[in-house]
Structure 1
Amino acid sequence: MSEEGLSLNRGSDRSEQRGGRARRMLEGALQAIAFLSGIVLVGLMLLVAISVFFRYALNQPILGSQELVQLGMVVMVMLAMPNTAYRSLHIRVDILDRVLGSIGCFLTDMLARLLGMAVLSILVVKSWAKMLDALEYEDVTNMLELPVWVAYASISAGMALYAGVLLLQLISQFGNWREYRE
């Protein structure tokens, strides 16, 4: 979504400064986790390439590489999703937009964001509880004994930020409701 699309404040200079600062902080956090997600992706690509080379060229598989890839994929995807949603880089199906009209689009966008926030909130609460259990019982993977709480923590963090993005988009939607009539 463009910067104008997420503008949360209308009115005084002071409220615009706070809104701009909050938006910049959110964008900074989203860029940081997207960067971290990219680093994980590059590491996973290298691991898979080296693992394939070792398996087929040297007939010596790297034990535990599958566990690393599985955990890494969870971390990478969960940390990339909030930034993808914020920048509107995800797939959007607009088959019914012409049929529903501007008011219908406004309502379906609002409903989709509200349902998304509800589902993500449940996911955050459940994954946070699983993370605490994994920490308490020291859950690890079978082969490499990697801590699994990291995966649950990335799910919680990524989905909490994603819910925050949806909330900001919902607020922005109400601030720009006139655009739906055009």
Structure 2
Amino acid sequence: MDDTRLGRAVFGLATGIAIAGGVALVILTIITAASVVGRALIPLGLKPVPGDVEIVQFGVLFAIFCSMPLTQYLRGHADVALLTDAFPARAAAIIELVMDIIMLVMTAFIVWRFAVGMLDKYGNKEMTFILHVPVWLTYAAAMLGAIGMLLVSLYCVVRSGANAFSRNPYKPEPGLF
């Protein structure tokens, strides 16, 4: 983990969001198992969990967005180490900075478009078919991970920039904090 107070705070934020996504996946697993058992035991009077497909769709959306901030913080996204290993540390650090800037721009675009979609669902008062839950609420829940990813991406640009322009840069590696 980074030695700075900011680095520790960003790591804590990313970890907390990832844990929320993991808890969601555990709950989704339980719901899915209960629904499968309910379907299998219909002759005995049981039934599937109502809206199980909707719950799983929105829960997986939430979990995916929640995994992104920690993955970015730990440099767990696609890596071109095969290419950067041949470069000196400063060149590799500059490449990492460029990639972090690209990730920040892409993340900002995703958050913007996701927010537009959420507001559209809110304005249309769109509801899920079975559970009649407002769809915008599921977007709002997933925005937790999306905004977390935006904050972590911004931090990673600062972290990579500080490394790339430091007196003695190190070669960035996945999992290196």
TM-score range relative to shorter protein: 0.7 to 0.9
User: Conserved in 1, the CA contact under 8 Å of 2:104 and 2:157?
Assistant: no
Structure 2 CA distance for aligned equivalents of residues 82 and 43 of structure 1 = 21
Structure 2 CA distance for aligned equivalents of residues 158 and 130 of structure 1 = 16
User: Conserved in 2, the CA contact under 8 Å of 1:78 and 1:159?
Assistant: yes
Structure 2 CA distance for aligned equivalents of residues 47 and 163 of structure 1 = 30
1:47 aligned to which of 21, 27, 31: 31
Structure 2 CA distance for aligned equivalents of residues 107 and 146 of structure 1 = 46
Question: What's the counterpart of residue 102 of structure 1?
Answer: 89
Q: Does residue 110 of structure 2 align to residue 123 of structure 1? A: yes
Question: What's the counterpart of residue 33 of structure 1?
Answer: 17
Q: CA deviation at 1:23?
A: 4.1
User: Conserved in 2, the CA contact under 8 Å of 1:31 and 1:83?
Assistant: yes
Question: What's the counterpart of residue 179 of structure 1?
Answer: 169
Question: What's the counterpart of residue 167 of structure 1?
Answer: 154
Task: Number of aligned residue pairs: give it.
Answer: 166
Q: Which amino acid aligns with 2:37?
A: F
Which stretch of structure 1 is more off in the superposition, 83-92 or 29-38?
83-92
TM-score under structure 1 normalisation?
0.77
Cα RMSD after superposing both structures: 2.5
Question: What's the counterpart of residue 49 of structure 2?
Answer: 62
Structure 1 CA distance for aligned equivalents of residues 90 and 143 of structure 2 = 34
Structure 1 CA distance for aligned equivalents of residues 138 and 62 of structure 2 = 6
Q: CA deviation at 1:118?
A: 0.7
Q: What secondary structure does 2:159 align onto?
A: helix
Structure 2 CA distance for aligned equivalents of residues 180 and 35 of structure 1 = 30
Q: CA deviation at 1:25?
A: 4.1
Calculate percent identity across the aligned residue pairs: 25
User: Conserved in 2, the CA contact under 8 Å of 1:131 and 1:152?
Assistant: yes
Q: Which amino acid aligns with 1:170?
A: V
User: Conserved in 2, the CA contact under 8 Å of 1:125 and 1:156?
Assistant: no
TM-score under structure 2 normalisation?
0.78
Q: CA deviation at 1:93?
A: 4.5
Q: CA deviation at 1:92?
A: 3.6
2:101 aligned to which of 114, 125, 137: 114
Question: What's the counterpart of residue 127 of structure 2?
Answer: 140
Q: CA deviation at 1:29?
A: 3.2
Structure 2 CA distance for aligned equivalents of residues 168 and 43 of structure 1 = 31
Q: Which amino acid aligns with 2:69?
A: P
Q: CA deviation at 1:91?
A: 5.6
Q: Which runs of 5+ in 2 are unaligned?
A: 172-177
Q: What secondary structure does 2:131 align onto?
A: coil
What CA deviation, in whole Å up to 9, does each residue of 1:17-38 have, x standing for no partner? Answer: xxx2x44543443343233222
User: Conserved in 2, the CA contact under 8 Å of 1:123 and 1:156?
Assistant: no
Q: CA deviation at 1:99?
A: 2.9
Q: CA deviation at 1:90?
A: 4.9
What CA deviation, in whole Å up to 9, does each residue of 1:69-118 have, x standing for no partner? Answer: 00000111112221232244556442212234434322321121111111
